Amino acid sequence: MMVSDGKKLGLFLLFTPFALWIGLLIILPHVGMFILSLKEKVAPRVYEYGLDNYINFIQEPIYWNTLLRTGVMSLLVTVLTLLIGFPVAYYIAKIAGKRSKGALFLLCLIPLWVSDLIRAFGWILLLRETGVVSKSLQSVGLIDTPIEFLYNDATVVMGLIYTVVLFMIVPLVSTLDGMDNEMIEAGYNLGGSRLTVLRRIIVPYAMPGIVAGCIVVFMLTAGSYLTPILLGGKNSSWFTEQIYDQFITRYNWESGAAFGFVLLTFTSFVVWAGLRLSGQTLSSTVAKS
């Protein structure tokens, strides 16, 4: 009895920080926000419960257009990140030698040592009208007048890919690393061309890593604030910007809270749909890598 009680206490103590973190910092605020999102202001300091904030969101096209735009752009970023990250991960996991593998992986992690903000300002220094790129193009004579590279969708997408590509590479490297080289050779040996081996063997094998990477990247992108604002300016119309507006500019916390829940529901739905389409489950992907 003593031993099992001691064990129970140990488990309890180990579990406590996690439970506190989940309870106090995740569940409690969300419950508070949810309650807040159901309140509507009928008169100064007089509130009633109702779905008005959500109805408002549906009735105003600019809101749900922004949400859809954010979703589509995030999916685009996710797909492009996968296309860029997969070859990089494949090279690190399968082609690079044992020794250079660690170095390359570390190299991928280096950007994380600098804050998001500094990295975004780095892009601004390069891309603004008086920035490095514009100036150099002028000095070689390719363009006559300075060009503003900032504040357009392409820049936002590029900046987002740059910030999230790492989160695609890490799970991909770990799944591809676990793949026996024999498997690829068997694919060729049995008559497969390069394309067949990639399509029928490597990609299906790496599917858990691909889905895990895509989920993380999509969630990070759809919920990002800094990069779209700094690189896209007011034109970026990212949905997080709308939430920020409601909370800070308009001081309409009820509506902001409702928007927050709309975003959460929307991204969760996209992830669910993605899992269904790829035939994967959360436990076989994110939980594994």
Partner 1 sequence: MNTSEFDLQCENLTKHFASVRAVDGVSFDIPAGTFFSILGPSGCGKTTLMRMIAGFESPNSGDIKIKGKSVLDTPPNKRNVKMVFQHLALFPMMNVYENIAYGLRCNGASKSVIKTKVADVLERVALPDVAKREIHQLSGGQKQRIAIARCMALDPDVLLLDEPLGALDLKLREAMKIELKLLQHQFNTTFVYITHDQSEALVMSDHVAVMNEGKFEQIGTPQELYHEPVSAFVAGFVGDANRWSGTVSAVHDGRVQFTTAQGLTLNGINKGDAHAASDTVSAFVRPEFIKLSDANLTNTNTTAGNNNEGHNSISGRIDSLLFNGANSRLLVRVDSNELIEADVTLTGGLNDPKAGENVTLVWPHEQTMCF
182 forms part of the interface with partner 1 (CB under 8 A): yes
Instruction: For partner 1, give the closer residue by CB, 47 or 188.
Output: 188
Q: How far is the CB of 92 from partner 1 (least distance, A)?
A: 21
Instruction: For partner 1, give the closer residue by CB, 208 or 256.
Output: 208
Residues 273 and 256: beta-carbon distance below 8 Å: no
Residues 161 and 81: beta-carbon distance below 8 Å: yes
Query: In the set 100, 136, 193, 281, which binds partner 1 (CB under 8 A)?
Result: 193
28 forms part of the interface with partner 1 (CB under 8 A): no
Structure tokens at 204: 């299906």
204 forms part of the interface with partner 1 (CB under 8 A): yes
User: What does 126-187 look like in DSSP terms, one character per residue?
Assistant: HHSTTSHHHHHHHHHTS-SS----SSSHHHHHHHHHHHHHHHHHHHHHHHHHTS-HHHHHHH
201 forms part of the interface with partner 1 (CB under 8 A): yes
Instruction: For partner 1, give the closer residue by CB, 187 or 256.
Output: 187
Query: In the set 199, 200, 250, 276, which binds partner 1 (CB under 8 A)?
Result: 200
CA pair distance 183, 55, nearest whole angstrom: 54
Instruction: For partner 1, give the closer residue by CB, 138 or 278.
Output: 278
Using the contact rule CB under 8 A, the part of the chain among 8-16, 61-69, 198-206, 240-248 near partner 1 is: 198-206
Instruction: For partner 1, give the closer residue by CB, 7 or 199.
Output: 199
199 forms part of the interface with partner 1 (CB under 8 A): no
Instruction: For partner 1, give the closer residue by CB, 145 or 283.
Output: 283
Residues 134 and 121: beta-carbon distance below 8 Å: no
- Among 79, 76, 72, 67, CA closest to 237: 67
Enumerate residues 34-63 that contact partner 1 by CB under 8 A.
none
CA pair distance 32, 27, nearest whole angstrom: 9
Enumerate residues 206-225 that contact partner 1 by CB under 8 A.
207
Element (H, E) at 101: helix 98-109
97 forms part of the interface with partner 1 (CB under 8 A): no
99 forms part of the interface with partner 1 (CB under 8 A): no
- Among 238, 205, 259, CA closest to 69: 238
Structure tokens at 92: 């690190």
205 forms part of the interface with partner 1 (CB under 8 A): yes
Q: What are the two backbone dihedrals, phi and then psi, of residue 137, each rounded to the nearest 5 degrees?
A: -60, -40
Query: In the set 111, 146, 192, 274, which binds partner 1 (CB under 8 A)?
Result: 192
Could you list the residues that contact partner 1 (CB under 8 A)? 180, 182-183, 185-193, 196, 200-201, 204-205, 207
